[in-house]
Chains A and B, each alone.
Chain A
């Protein structure tokens, strides 16, 4: 399967036709994408800053309550992102900015899994104000840096046409 086959698959879908014909879908998805981004980044700031020790005044257990918020916001962005790509697959699939953005999202996903499977349970046992283990701090730092890179790459997509 070539990249062009993937692009053709998206172009032949009903969603592609729908987005092309309804002028309001794209702006609506863009707006939802930005709102989703803000909720997700805000939730990650609370969690990651607590783990990093920058917000030790927040209880770790309470900070973790923002995980579902981040997941819901990410889901909104995944769906709206799918709509963007389906609207013009040939422009996205060959775009360096988009390709790197996808790579960074996969890295962020692996990092989140590492956090969930390796650190989450132990972090929940921390007392208020207690420092998180070094490994958890590394994960939190990677999380913030990777998501900032995702935002940068996302914004650069219109300017990184191959």
Chain B
């Protein structure tokens, strides 16, 4: 069932366009890199702030920077879904891909947890623990994303 769905997506017009268009794949890949730099840029700077860097910046101020983070995330969601179409039946079973998606989802949830922890005025140690976990999760997302090209085993 899952395999049928993956093959349907992979062999559909999106997958064919992604594989056969001369500029399709490079263009999507490029937007994915820009989106990544934006999302991770916002996530990393927020985590650095919570961990004690640039203490003069109000952590709540990052709420406004999240708008940019969301734009980056949206770019990556769309470009990621398109990139997935190129080899859906392979990517889906790759442990690097599974770990990447897991890390991104966890990292996203952790961003919310960090901000909630700041708003709830939890202890500094708790806030820092969540921020470290959040940053680690996004780092795992980048590392596994890059390794997808090298470790294809499922």
Is B142's CB under 8 angstroms from A38's CB? Answer: yes
Q: How many A-B residue pairs have CB under 8 A?
A: 92
User: Chain A 28-43, CB within 8 Å of chain B: the 1/0 string?
Assistant: 0011001101110111
Q: Is the interface of B mostly helix, strand, loop or mixed?
A: helix
Q: Does B36 contact A (CB under 8 A)?
A: yes
Cβ distance A58 to chain B, nearest Cβ, rounded Å: 5
Known: A34-B36, A37-B37. A55 touches B61 (CB 8 A): yes
Taking a contact as CB atoms under 8 Å apart, the answer to whether B34 and A151 are in contact is yes
Q: Give how many A residues have a beta carbon under 8 Å from the other chain's beta carbons.
A: 33
Structural contact, B142 and A63, CB atoms closer than 8 A: no
Interface, chain B (partner A; CB < 8 A): 26, 29-30, 33-34, 36-38, 40-45, 48, 53-58, 61, 64-65, 68, 139, 142-143, 145-147, 149-150
By beta carbon, the residue of chain A nearest B33 is A155
- Whole-angstrom CA separation of A27 from B150 in the bound complex: 7
B147 contacts A27, C-beta separation under 8 Å: yes
Shortest distance from the beta carbon of A57 to any chain B beta carbon, whole Å: 5
The 9 closest A-B pairs by CB, nearest first: A42-B41, A38-B40, A62-B56, A41-B37, A155-B30, A65-B54, A41-B41, A42-B45, A31-B146
